Amino acid sequence: MSECLFCKIAAGEIPSNKVYEDDICYAFYDIDPKAPVHFLVIPKAHIASVSAVDEENCAVVGHIFQVISQLAKDLNLESYRVVSNIGEQAGQSVFHLHFHVLSGRDMTWPPG
């Protein structure tokens, strides 16, 4: 069995507050939200980060962005930010590809 936290969440082995699911990806609310709306979208197959996206697996990323676009419409998010941290210095703490979707407050640029 995979020891990866997000593989376990995607497989339903660890409970989460689901936003959306299909054969390719899983979306769920972040346990420690950084905005009034903060959910994560992950591929069901393990990919460590954007660094591990290649010609073979890149279709899942396009699919995830299509899902994000649709979920934003469904949740009436007029303005939102999509973030993926790659590597510890950039703030990555879970090494399974995930896109944060944050909304519902003013945001600063550039991010800290």
Q: Is 44 in the site for Zn ion (CB under 5 A)?
A: no
Neighbouring C-beta atoms of residue 93, cutoff 10 Å: 7
Q: Is 46 in the site for Zn ion (CB under 5 A)?
A: yes
Residues belonging to the chain: 112
Q: With respect to ligand 5GP, which residue has the nearer C-beta, 24 or 35?
A: 35
Neighbouring C-beta atoms of residue 95, cutoff 10 Å: 18
Per DSSP, 56 falls in state T
- The residue ranges that bind ligand 5GP (CB under 6 A) are 5, 16, 28, 30-32, 85, 91-94
- For Zn ion, the nearest residue by Cβ is 4
Q: Encoding tokens for residue 43?
A: 């591929």
**Catalytic positions, please?**
98
Query: Which amino acid is residue 35, in one-letter code?
Result: A
Binding site for Zn ion (CB under 5 A): 4, 6-7, 46, 96
